[in-house]
């Protein structure tokens, strides 16, 4: 992960600590020489990394998959997430970002200090990347000049017809945070216009089909107290919209809330199980978090 200050981390959660700065060194240099990275690897190999007990990867992968994923130390990172800034046009109730911030990553260093030929997976995120001019410029540079597939995390509210085409032609995974299945819940969570997000998702699905690109349209739903009752409705909605994937995640409040709501969990489980087994539901549902919460 590279954050908006140019700091390089070995984890997408900006953990366990910064390894160096992309403003001062190339990523290859940081990766080969950082004593902090060596320490993190040493602790990790002994299961002693302080952040691991709360790592979200433990909810997604079983121990075997996790060990495979962490095996070996590549000479250069193959997966890079670039957080271009915290600025966002929304202010969601569960958001921990400094959404009014005007600190943006200097993407010129990112372009010249990373050997992009060695990178296989790129994720761009904000804040809201479509509200951050350098993030948009970096997306276009990576997809056009470097011919890379680029994944994005976005709230989807600023997708113009022009950008819908850029995104879909970028061939990556377009994760659009919806976090609701109804306009009322959407408004409570992010004060935004639900119909606009739905129209933008439809636009992406239609373009992807028309242009026959390999992009993946991913409806994302972070479970919190305010939207937990709409988890099953989100499956129906994402499926009706023609999304490829429905991804769930948790904010801490969502996990704690569901742990206290046994009746709601029982109702959700019955409905979600029915939907998952319904042949008409073709959206690929990421099930790890649902299973972990006892909803599957």
The least distance separating ligand SF4 from the CB of residue 177, rounded to whole angstroms, comes to: 6
Among 33, 65, 91, 210, binds ligand SF4 (CB under 6 A): 91
Location of structure tokens 């911030």 = 101
249 binds ligand SF4, rule: CB under 6 A: no
107 binds ligand SF4, rule: CB under 6 A: no
206-211: Cβ within 8 A, 24+ apart: 207/164, 207/165, 207/168, 208/168, 209/242, 211/165, 211/168, 211/169
**Cβ closer to ligand SF4: 27 or 152?**
152
Short-list 95, 70, 169, 27, CA closest to 152: 169
90 binds ligand SF4, rule: CB under 6 A: yes
Location of structure tokens 């302080």 = 50
- Count of chain residues binding ligand SF4 (CB under 6 A): 13
**Cβ closer to ligand SF4: 77 or 254?**
254
**Cβ closer to ligand SF4: 107 or 177?**
177
Interface map 108-147 toward ligand SF4 (x if CB under 6 A): ------------------xxx-------------------
Location of structure tokens 């997976």 = 121
Residue 142, judged by CB atoms within 10 A of its CB (0-12, 13-18, 19+), counts as buried
Half-sphere exposure of 160 (CA within 13 A, CB side): 5
81 binds ligand SF4, rule: CB under 6 A: no
**Cβ closer to ligand SF4: 31 or 90?**
90
Among 3, 177, 215, 220, binds ligand SF4 (CB under 6 A): 177
Enter the tokens of residue 109: 């260093």
Task: Give the C-alpha separation, 84 to 136, whole Å.
Answer: 9
Among 97, 122, 201, 217, binds ligand SF4 (CB under 6 A): 97
**Please, are residues 254 and 225 in contact by the beta-carbon 8 Å criterion?**
yes
Short-list 180, 172, 187, CA closest to 129: 172
6 binds ligand SF4, rule: CB under 6 A: no
The least distance separating ligand SF4 from the CB of residue 253, rounded to whole angstroms, comes to: 13
Enter the tokens of residue 26: 């190339």
Among 10, 25, 99, 239, binds ligand SF4 (CB under 6 A): 99
Residues engaged in binding ligand SF4 (CB under 6 A): 88, 90-92, 95, 97, 99, 126-128, 155, 177, 190
């Amino acid at each position: 992960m590279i954050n908006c200050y140019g700091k390089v981390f070995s984890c997408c959660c900006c953990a366990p600590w910064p390894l160096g700065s992309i403003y001062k060194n190339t990523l290859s240099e940081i990766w080969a020489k950082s004593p902090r990275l060596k320490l993190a690897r040493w602790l990790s190999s002994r299961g002693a990394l302080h952040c691991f007990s709360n790592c979200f990867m433990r909810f997604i992968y079983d121990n075997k998959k996790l060990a495979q994923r962490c095996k070996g130390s590549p000479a250069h990172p193959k997966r890079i997430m670039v957080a271009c800034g915290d600025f966002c046009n929304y202010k969601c109730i569960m958001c921990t970002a400094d959404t009014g911030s005007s600190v943006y990553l200097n993407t010129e260093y990112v372009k010249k200090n990373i050997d992009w030929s060695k990178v296989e997976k790129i994720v761009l995120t904000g804040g809201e990347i479509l509200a951050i001019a350098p993030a948009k410029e970096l997306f276009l540079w990576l997809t056009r000049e470097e011919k890379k597939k680029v994944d994005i995390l976005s709230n989807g509210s600023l997708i113009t017809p022009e950008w819908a085409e850029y995104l879909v032609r970028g061939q990556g995974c377009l994760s659009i945070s919806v976090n609701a299945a109804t306009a009322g819940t959407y408004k409570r969570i992010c004060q935004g216009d639900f119909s606009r997000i739905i129209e933008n998702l439809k636009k992406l699905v239609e373009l992807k089909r028309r242009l026959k690109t390999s992009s993946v349209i991913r409806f994302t739903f972070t479970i919190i107290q305010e939207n937990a009752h709409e988890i099953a409705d989100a499956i129906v909605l994402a499926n009706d919209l023609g999304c490829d994937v429905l991804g769930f995640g948790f904010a801490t409040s969502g996990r704690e809330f569901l742990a206290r709501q046994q009746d709601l969990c029982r109702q959700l489980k019955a409905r979600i199980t029915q939907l998952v087994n319904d042949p008409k539901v073709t959206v690929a549902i990421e099930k790890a978090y649902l299973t972990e919460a006892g909803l599957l």
